[in-house]
Amino acid sequence: MSEEIIENNGAVENPTASNETVTPETQAQEQQPQTNTDPNPEKGGQKEEEKKPSYTKIGREIRQKVTFYKDDARNALAREVSESTQSRKAKIVQKQELIEKFNRDLAAIEAEIKALETEIITKSEIAVTGEKREDVLCDVYQTENEIIYIPEGSDFEKGEVIARSQRTPEQQKEEEK
């Protein structure tokens, strides 16, 4: 077995081969047919076949193949690594920009969805009740017997009256005190 490892020098065997005996002669015949005829017919016509060792496949084994690189090749590989590292960094930056753009676009869409949901709720309530209710900041004015609510910044005489309430005599007496 140790002789076979030295002869194979770490090479991987043919994965499609089965348990078969391979001789260098049969291997050469598979590659190219050779004739073993002697050009000199006087000495017997054909050359005698030399006895060659036969090999029997006994299994498979993974071996490590080592390849050595010269300084020029190593420097070229180092340059390729440096260029690939820079390309990787650029791709990471590009990825982050895409993620940030996606997040901004997603946030904008989410805001639009919330606005639509609010609009749907408001319009649904109006459709069901037949009236619209909203909060309005008002300026409050008081007369002798009523309180008037007008939208903030509107002219008292020309402004739209949001609400009126009557002052009861009890409220008037308390305010006078």
If asked whether residues 108 and 130 sit together in one domain, one would say yes
Reading phi first (left if > 0) and then psi (alpha if -120 to 50, else beta), residue 112 is in: alpha
Q: Is residue 124 one of the residues assigned to a domain?
A: yes
Q: Is residue 164 one of the residues assigned to a domain?
A: yes
Longest dimension (CA), the chain: 155
Kindly report, residue by residue over 56-72, the tens digit of the pLDDT.
888 999 999 999 999 99
pLDDT band at 177 (very low <50, low <70, confident <90, very high): low
Q: What is d(CA 144, CA 171) in angstroms, rounded to the nearest whole number?
A: 11
Q: Is 93 within 8 Å of 42 (Cβ atoms)?
A: no
- Residue 149 token pair: 């609510």
Distance of CA 19 to the CA centre of its chain: 47
Q: Is residue 19 one of the residues assigned to a domain?
A: yes
DSSP 85-110: HHHHHHHHHHHHHHHHHHHHHHHHHH
If asked whether residues 84 and 23 sit together in one domain, one would say no
Residue 155: predicted pLDDT: 75
Q: Is residue 42 one of the residues assigned to a domain?
A: no
Q: Is residue 45 one of the residues assigned to a domain?
A: no
Q: Is residue 114 one of the residues assigned to a domain?
A: yes
If asked whether residues 117 and 164 sit together in one domain, one would say no
What average pLDDT does the chain have?
Answer: 77
If asked whether residues 55 and 18 sit together in one domain, one would say yes
Q: Is 138 within 8 Å of 152 (Cβ atoms)?
A: yes
Q: Is 136 within 8 Å of 159 (Cβ atoms)?
A: no
If asked whether residues 1 and 13 sit together in one domain, one would say yes
Q: Is residue 142 one of the residues assigned to a domain?
A: yes
The domain of 1 spans 1-32+51-66
Rounded to 5 degrees, φ, ψ at 93 are: -65, -45
Higher pLDDT, 28 or 88: 88
Q: Is 161 within 8 Å of 148 (Cβ atoms)?
A: yes
3 state DSSP class of 170: helix
If asked whether residues 157 and 147 sit together in one domain, one would say yes
Q: What percent of the chain has pLDDT over 70?
A: 65
If asked whether residues 154 and 129 sit together in one domain, one would say no
If asked whether residues 155 and 129 sit together in one domain, one would say no
Q: Is 80 within 8 Å of 22 (Cβ atoms)?
A: no
Q: What is the mean pLDDT of residues 165-175?
A: 68
If asked whether residues 151 and 103 sit together in one domain, one would say no
pLDDT band at 152 (very low <50, low <70, confident <90, very high): confident
Residue 88: predicted pLDDT: 98
If asked whether residues 120 and 168 sit together in one domain, one would say no
Number of domains in the chain: 3
If asked whether residues 126 and 149 sit together in one domain, one would say no
Kindly report, residue by residue over 15-27, the tens digit of the pLDDT.
444 445 555 555 5
pLDDT band at 175 (very low <50, low <70, confident <90, very high): low
Q: What is the mean pLDDT of residues 82-89?
A: 97
If asked whether residues 1 and 61 sit together in one domain, one would say yes
What's this model's pTM, rounded to 2 decimal places?
A: 0.41
Given a cut of 70, whether residue 4 has pLDDT beyond it is no
Q: What is the mean pLDDT of residues 114-134?
A: 92
pLDDT band at 6 (very low <50, low <70, confident <90, very high): very low
